[in-house]
Structure 1
Amino acid sequence: MADCVFCAIVAGSVPAFKVIDSPDGVGFLDTRPVFKGHVLIVPRTHVVTLPDLSPEALPGYFGLVQRVSAAVPAALGAKGTFVAINNIVSQSVPHLHTHVVPRTKGDGLRGFFWPRTKYADDEEANGYAEKIAKELG
């Protein structure tokens, strides 16, 4: 879709700090992370919500989400992850995306209040992306 920023990231016409680029989807750092290392995973095809994703695409897409949710704690020393999908409500970009947020006990995340932070610069963001990408192989 021409005006979708996530489609543009998938196509490579908009830069992103990618952690994985596979036939099943693309994972990249959220530019406004809840915690540093927060990854968004999107399917390669433009669909708006999870119900729009074809049944044939589900295993590959969620396999990718599973891989990223294992790689993030291993790469960053987190204790776990929070994995979430918004469908329409609170969906800031109308393209299906799954959040994989690194978590540590006592990190301050409560319920669905997601405080946002920023990377100091592109170099710091690139460092986080490279750590997660390395863990993904």
Structure 2
Amino acid sequence: MTPAACAFCAIVAGEAEAAVVLDDEVAVGFLDTRPLFPGHTLVVPRTHHETLVDLPPEDVGPLFQRARRVAAAVVEILGAQGSFVALNNTVSQSVPHLHVHVVPRTKGDGLRGFFWPRTSYAEGEADEVAARLRTALEAPGS
């Protein structure tokens, strides 16, 4: 998707309406139009990047500093007891522009754990998967 066709780029540019809660040189935060709970906010980088892997390393910290501020605000202002902070990379990403979900949470709100079924590792499988990931992460340039 080109930035010109991106719904979130249009919001960042002020060309599309959104209930904006944060707007600075790094990111824009706005209420999700289909919230899990009132205050469910999407925090997006101003520049178009589709996934977290596409975001330049120097931009990761500043983006998550904004998500952190929103997470604090939903507790302080909306009376939430905590928050759920998450993002999707490609799969389940309804708009292909990196966005961090900050969802206010309260005990007993009906949201249970993660939104998908949990599984278990077969005997020895966890060690094998961990070894493969360690090898990839230890490789130069990873």
Identity %: 66
Query: 1:59 deviation in Å?
Result: 1.7
1:75 aligns to what? 77
2:82 pairs with 1:47:
no
Given residue 42 of structure 1, which amino acid in structure 2 is its aligned partner?
V
Structure 2 matches for 1:1-137, cutoff 5 A?
1-113=3-115
Query: 1:113 deviation in Å?
Result: 3.4
> Which protein has the larger Cα radius of gyration, Structure 1 or Structure 2?
2
**Per-residue Cα deviation, 1:70-94 (whole angstroms, up to 9, x for no partner):** 1111110010000000001100000
CA-based RMSD: 1.1
- Give the distance between the partners of 2:37 and 2:115, measured in 1 at CA: 12
Unaligned runs of 5+ in 2: 117-142
| Count of residues in Structure 1 that have an aligned counterpart in Structure 2 | 114
Q: Higher relative contact order at CA 8 Å, sep ≥6: structure 1 or structure 2? A: 1
What's the TM-score once normalised by structure 2's chain length?
Answer: 0.78
- Give the distance between the partners of 1:96 and 1:36, measured in 2 at CA: 21
Unaligned runs of 5+ in 1: 115-137
- Give the distance between the partners of 1:30 and 1:9, measured in 2 at CA: 12
What's the TM-score once normalised by structure 1's chain length?
Answer: 0.81
